[in-house]
Structure 1
């Protein structure tokens, strides 16, 4: 085994592996219409990569209905997104190829997402359950993204040091979580532009990314951060 290669590869889901943010877009706008309002582009952008709880708070504030009961909205949204997920999800460019290559190379993998377990189970019909050694969902952690807990939880479940993992993300919220966890971060923007950030490796897509590229990212990061 190559000791220099990542101890594990930690994948975000929505916007990173699959184009599911567009599915959320459909459902959220339908929910807003059902609630008698219209969701603003700014509010929708603020939800990308966030947890259900934070998204619903933004939703209520944007519609000017801060006291709107959350439970019914979450139930409706979950049901609608579940059905849309079951219809099939579209892979992001290069994502399926990278996932297959990482698995073929024998590198441990984790799916680390802000999405709840019931929806992740539907998405795994597209992603393939066999592709992930560990799955960490947004409703299974105390502090969701942008807190580092989801990524640290994944590394702990895999039994590997987070500093030797590569996390792949697409949103500011997810990047903040991965970076704070101590992982090496590869960011590929989807719905939102990502600013240049120290410690974050930016690419336009996952096309051409393979295990050798991820290994080089880890080596580069080690050279930039020599041991004390």
Structure 2
């Protein structure tokens, strides 16, 4: 059974939050590091290439850069280049990570309603830990990272793991995402999804509710997104 509140109707039993581009405006910092890495590899970081990597796992993003640079399979030192990228992003994170508009208030609103929250990010654990002091690790019942599942987003693994960690079914969760990759992962797992696009357009699809930003998100909005998404996924509402 989903949670209920007389003022807002049915509510999800857990909210699963993406991090980069959803809670934190960190994609702009990744933009810097990814552009520098593209130069190292001999690629041109076009808008299209950068958008194709948004929300990807490290392996997924690196593969697209290698492809763009025309690096032969035998010469692709993923570990070395990923090590460089992690270090550069860590340097950029150390200077401070800005919030996405309305994100801090939205976290407070959902926490005040007593709904457990899980952080679900393709970012690897080491970099996530560097970002968590900004967000507040204490706010989340669990945090899951892209290097802790068999396949990162757009595969559903991390959202399925998040629902299990919360002790509920994916249909009883509301995922909040900003990227095509993240939205695809949440949908594949069967999670109703609230999409707040940041740097890339996210296509319409069953189970997705859109809003321009997290500014002003209240529990009525959370309830509406969850109920709409749950109905689109074919689950019975409460």
Answer yes or no: same fold by TM over 0.5.
yes
Counterparts of residues 150-165 of structure 1 (less than 5 Å):
150-165=158-173
- Find out whether 1:198 has 2:200 as its counterpart: no
TM-score by length of 1: 0.94
Taking the TM superposition and a 5 Å limit, the aligned residue runs for 1:114-133 are 114-133=122-141
Unaligned runs of 5+ in 2: none
**Unaligned runs of at least 5 residues, structure 1:** none
Return the alpha-carbon distance in structure 2 between the equivalents of residues 195 and 187 of structure 1: 10
- In structure 1, what is the equivalent of residue 114 of structure 2? 106
Of 2, 5, 9, which residue of structure 1 is paired with 2:4?
2
Does 1:52 find its partner at 2:58?
yes
Q: Any residues of structure 2 matched to 1:135-174 within 5 Å, and which?
A: 135-174=143-182
Shift of 1:104: 1.7
- Equivalence for 1:84: 92
Displacement after TM superposition at 1:106 (Å): 1.3
Output the CA distance in 2 between the equivalents of 1:221 and 1:85. 34
- Write the mapping of 1:214-225 to structure 2, written as runs, cut at 5 A: 214-222=222-230, 225=234
Shift of 1:27: 0.5
Aligned-pair RMSD on alpha carbons? Answer: 1.8
Whole-angstrom CA distance in 2 between matches of 1:86 and 1:133? 25
Structure 1 residue aligned with 2:71: 65
- Flag the 1:83–1:196 CA change in 2: closer, same or farther, 3 A: same
Distance 2:214 2:191 in 1: 18
Corresponding position of 2:17: 11
After superposition, the Cα gap between the structure-2 partners of 1:221 and 1:33, relative to the gap in structure 1 and judged at 3 Å, is closer
Q: In structure 2, do the counterparts of structure 1 residues 221 and 172 end up closer, same or farther at CA, with 3 Å as the change threshold?
A: closer
Q: Which structure 2 residues correspond to residues 35-46 of structure 1 after superposition, within 5 A?
A: 35-46=41-52
| Aligned: 1:180 with 2:188 | yes
